[in-house]
Amino acid sequence: MGRVVDFTAINAKIKAMEGFWLKKSQYKELIECNNFREALIYLRDKTKYGDTLKEYNVEELHRGQLEVILKRKYISNFTKLSHFLRDDYRKLLKVIFTRFEVDDIKVIIRGKYIGKRTEDLEQRISYKCSMSTINYDELLQADNVEQVVDKLKGTIYYKYIYNLVDSIEDDGLFRIEMALDSVYFILLKRFIKKLPKEDKEVVEKINGIQADLLNIQMIYRGLKYYQLPSEILFNYAVQDGCKLKKDDLKRLCYSKNIDDFLNKIKTTAYKEIFNISEFEDYLLEKEMMAFLQKLYTRYKTEAKMNISVILAYLELSLIEYRNIVSIVENKRYSQHNDEIIKYITTTM
């Protein structure tokens, strides 16, 4: 495929959109807010998130609602950005959207698993948009996980999970969720063959590192919380990562225990994620995001005339939303500011 996109114009558009992000001084002021309500008011009145929050009564926002609001804002920007692209570049964003649609499917499946009300689940849906390929109304009306899976017939997801319903009794939702996560990587691997060489290399690197980190998280959780057999972990690992090859994955999956896994991971390119004096579970996601943030920031700074700036913007926006939610939600529990900083990737 030849180049059909004016990256000069798109990169300029993205540069303007980056102006929406919080400055370091605003992060500091947000962290210094005294409570949850004050933090929301600060976001509404002192940042560019005001346009997003002005239609809500911040006095009435309950736990988790800010996260949904920001995710809906994200997917609105995502779809708008796709309109600036043509042909296979627009199709690439459609494939990437699969990742977010999977998140919504998992929200519904988890909700049905624990018996949440349909009305409550509707409030948790974040990514429904013009790119959606699933029937949300049908999925939400399902009575249980088995019915959700059955209602996914005819979608790209069904063949990956239809035979895993029976595993729920023994393994909970772990296998189904890992299978759903793999769909995005499988589809993207097939699609990027259509891209020009330079863009293909960028997507392969980002996708490969994301796959590696998903595998690390999956193996860690599988060993620590589910005691899953090594062969099961290996079967659900996403292949074709960037720095963890098949033999590396097998070595990690066949760790004797969590300590053995941690010792092995420290011999890989991802050792810095666990290279802190007192590693705690809650830090895993944050450290992975910090690792990715360095990669995306480098792409943003280089500002090359290829797909890298678009992808960096999309990923850095997600990290910003995660940081904001971490700060604001921790204000509910009167966490000390030094503790809150542990949860975010932005350095103060």
pLDDT at position 5 is: 79
pLDDT at position 1 is: 47
Structural contact between residues 341 and 348, judged by C-beta atoms closer than 8 angstroms: yes
Q: Is the dihedral of CA 312, 188, 111, 123 positive or negative?
A: positive
Tell me the C-alpha distance between 299 and 18, whole Å.
14
Q: What is the mean predicted confidence (pLDDT) over 167-193?
A: 94
pLDDT value at 24 more than 60:
yes
Q: Give residue 346's pLDDT band: very low, low, confident or very high (50, 70, 90).
A: confident
Instruction: Pick 240 or 291 by higher pLDDT.
Output: 291
Q: Give residue 102's pLDDT band: very low, low, confident or very high (50, 70, 90).
A: very high
pLDDT at position 180 is: 97
How would DSSP label each residue in 233-267?
HHHHSPSS-SS--HHHHHHHHT-SSHHHHHHHHTT
Q: Give residue 288's pLDDT band: very low, low, confident or very high (50, 70, 90).
A: very high
Q: What is the DSSP letter of 167?
A: G
CB burial readout 243-264, b (16+ within 10 A) else e: ebeeebbebbbbbeeeeebeeb
What is the percent of the chain where pLDDT is above 70?
97
pLDDT value at 304 more than 50:
yes
Q: Provide the strand spans (E) within 152-228.
A: none
Tell me the C-alpha distance between 101 and 215, whole Å.
20
pLDDT value at 4 more than 90:
no
What is the percent of the chain where pLDDT is above 90?
85
pLDDT at position 195 is: 94
- The identity of residue 2, as a single letter, is G
Please state, rounded to an integer, the average pLDDT across all residues of the chain: 94
pLDDT at position 3 is: 56
pLDDT at position 277 is: 55
Q: What is the mean predicted confidence (pLDDT) over 304-322?
A: 97
**Maximum mean pLDDT: which of 4-8, 131-135, 269-273:** 131-135
pLDDT at position 332 is: 87
Q: What is the mean predicted confidence (pLDDT) over 51-67?
A: 91
How would DSSP label each residue in 8-44?
HHHHHHHHHHHTTSPPHHHHHHHHT-SSHHHHHHHHH
Q: Give residue 133's pLDDT band: very low, low, confident or very high (50, 70, 90).
A: very high
The region, left, alpha or beta by phi > 0 then psi within -120 to 50, assigned to residue 156 is alpha
Q: What is the DSSP letter of 225?
A: I
pLDDT value at 281 more than 80:
no
Q: Give residue 120's pLDDT band: very low, low, confident or very high (50, 70, 90).
A: very high
Tell me the C-alpha distance between 218 and 284, whole Å.
11
